[in-house]
Structure 1
Amino acid sequence: MHLQGKHALITGGGTGIGLGIARELAAHGARVTICGRRAGPLEDAAKTTAGLFPLVMDVSDEVSVRDGFAKAVDARGPIAIHVANAGIAEGRSLRKTDLAFWRRMMGINLDGAFLTIREALETMSGLDWGRVIAVSSMAGLKGLRGAPAYSASKHAMIGLIRSLAADYAGRPLTFNALCPGYVETEIVDRNVVSIRDRAGVTDEEALAMMVGANPHKRLVTVAEVAEAAMFLCGPNSGSMNGQAIAIAGGEL
C-alpha cells in the first residue's frame, strides 16, 4: 500500500487500459480520479471498484481540462500521479486524410496529453514525489502502416515525455511512456470492424491480422499494461525516466 493517500488522475479511465491502471493503483492505496467524456462508464467503474472517483472531462477542451483538474484537486488534493491515457485509434491513408480527421486525432491524442500533463504539473510543483505516464503505442516507436495521423500523434507524445524528463531531471518527478502493441480492449473490437470493411475480410481474419502483428501471437492483456504502469509508480522506479517502454511481445 505504498501509494496510500496519493491522488492519481487518469484520463480515459472508464474503460480498457485506463480502467485497468486505475484499478491497479487503487489496489495499492491511491485515490484515483477517472476521467472521460461519458459519465456512464465512469460511474459504473466507480461502483465496482473502491477508491475510484468519476469525473466527466473532455481532454481536447482546455476549459474542460482546467475545470476538471480544479474539481479533482479540491476534492482529493494535489495530483501525485497522472496517466495521460485518453486517445483514439483510427487508420486512414494520408491521401484520404482531410484536415478535420488530422485535427481530431491530434486534438485528442496529443493536445489532450499536453493539456492534462500541463495541469498535472501545476499541482505537482509542491510535492516531493510525482509520476507522469503517457500511454503511447508501438505506433509511436515504429509507425503503423495505414495510420500516419495516429502514428504521428503517438510519436509526438513520446517526444513530449522525453523533453519533460530532460527539463525536470534531478527533481523528484519522472516522465515515461508506455507503448503497447495490440491490446485486448474495445479499441481492438472497433478495429476489427474497420479492417474488415477496408480490406474486405471476415471478422476472424481482421482479428488475426492484429494478433499476428504481436510477435508472441496473442493480444496484450490490460493487466500486463497496468503492471508496467504500477512499476513506474513503485518504490524503486526513480531511475526510470524519459523511457518509451514497449509492451508488445517482443516487437522491435
Structure 2
Amino acid sequence: MSEERVVLVTGASRGIGAAIAQGLAEDGHKVAFAARNPADVQDKAKWLGGMTVPLDVADPASVAAAVAQVEATLGPIDVLVNNAGVALSAPFARTTAADWAQTLAVNLTGSFHVTQAVVPGMQARGFGRLVFIASNAGLTGYAYTAAYCASKHGVVGLMRALAVELAKHGVTSNAICPGFVETDMARASIDRIMETTGRTEEEARAALAGLSPQRRLIQVEEVVHAVRALLPASARGINGQAIAVDGGQVLH
C-alpha cells in the first residue's frame, strides 16, 4: 500500500471500533487499538502488526499518556478515529443528571480531548484525517435517547467546526453516521424491544430492521468501508461531511 498511515482508533476492543481497527490494519496501516480494556484485543493487534493502548477518553491524563505512547511506538498519528462511546436509553423524565453527564463525557467531551491531543501535530505536518463515528442519531431524533442524541449532534457540530478551521492545514474532518449496526449495541436494542413490547426476538429484530427502507441492519464491514474511503490523500475534497450509513433510514 502506497499510503501507509499511523492510525489511532478509540473504543477498539469490540463492535464497530474493533472492526475498523482490524480492517485498517489489514490494509497495511499501523494501527493503535485503544480501549479501556485493551487486553481484549491484544493478541489480534499484535498479530496485525499494531499495538494496544489503555485509554479512557473522558480522562485528559489518560488521553495524553495514550497519545504519547502511540507516537513513541508507531510514529506521529496521521488518522484519528473517534469511536469510543456509550448509549443509555431511558424516557427523558427518568434520565438522570449522571446519565446525561456520563453520555456527554464519553461521546462528546471524550472526542474533544483526543482530537485536541492530536491536531497540533497534524497541523504542523500538513496532513491529518479526523473521523468521528457519530450516528444517525446525530442527524435526527429518537425517543428515549435524549442524552445520546444530544451527544451525537454535538459530535457532528464539532466535526463541522474543525472541518472549516483545519482545512488550510491539510486536515480533513468528517463523521460517519451509522444506523443500527449488527453489534452488541443493536442486540441491546432488540432486547429492550422484547422486554417492553412482549415481542419475540424475530419480531423485535424485524421491527428494528424495519426502521430502514432496506429492511435490514447495517453490517460493520459497511462502516469500515466508509472510514477507509476517507483516508487517502485523494480524499482531501471530502471535508465537513456527516455521512449516513443507514440504508436511507434518516430519509424514511
Bucket of the pairwise TM-score, normalised by the shorter protein: over 0.9
CA contact 2:71–2:77 (8 Å) conserved in 1: yes
Change beyond 3 A, Cα 1:149–1:28: same
Q: Give the superposition deviation at 1:160.
A: 0.1
- Structure 1 unaligned runs (5+)? none
1:88-167 matched pairs, under 5 angstroms: 88-167=86-165
Structure 2: distance between partners of 1:215 and 1:62: 41
Structure 1: distance between partners of 2:50 and 2:202: 35
Deviations 1:135-192 (A, max 9, x none): 0000000112221110000000000000001111222110000000000111112222
Q: Give the superposition deviation at 1:204.
A: 2.7
Q: Which residue of 2 aligns with 1:30?
A: 29
* Aligned pairs, number: 250
Q: Give the superposition deviation at 1:206.
A: 2.5
CA contact 2:174–2:241 (8 Å) conserved in 1: yes
Structure 2: distance between partners of 1:220 and 1:113: 23
**Letter matched to residue 186 of structure 1:** D
Structure 2: distance between partners of 1:203 and 1:62: 41
1:39 aligns with 2:38: yes
Q: Which residue of 2 aligns with 1:20?
A: 19
- Structure 2 unaligned runs (5+)? none
CA contact 2:22–2:45 (8 Å) conserved in 1: no
Structure 2: distance between partners of 1:87 and 1:101: 13
Deviations 1:46-97 (A, max 9, x none): 25x4132111111111111111111111111110000000011221121111
CA contact 1:42–1:55 (8 Å) conserved in 2: no
Q: Which residue of 1 aligns with 2:53?
A: 55
**Letter matched to residue 221 of structure 1:** Q
User: What is the DSSP-based 3-state SS (H/G/I as helix, E as strand, rest coil) of the residue aligned with 2:89?
Assistant: coil
Q: Which residue of 2 aligns with 1:247?
A: 245
CA contact 1:33–1:72 (8 Å) conserved in 2: yes
CA contact 2:162–2:173 (8 Å) conserved in 1: yes
Q: CA RMSD in A?
A: 1.5
CA contact 2:123–2:171 (8 Å) conserved in 1: no
Identity of aligned residues (%): 37
User: What is the DSSP-based 3-state SS (H/G/I as helix, E as strand, rest coil) of the residue aligned with 1:71?
Assistant: helix
**Letter matched to residue 201 of structure 2:** D
Q: Give the superposition deviation at 1:120.
A: 1.4
Structure 1: distance between partners of 2:3 and 2:17: 17
TM, length-normalised to structure 2: 0.94
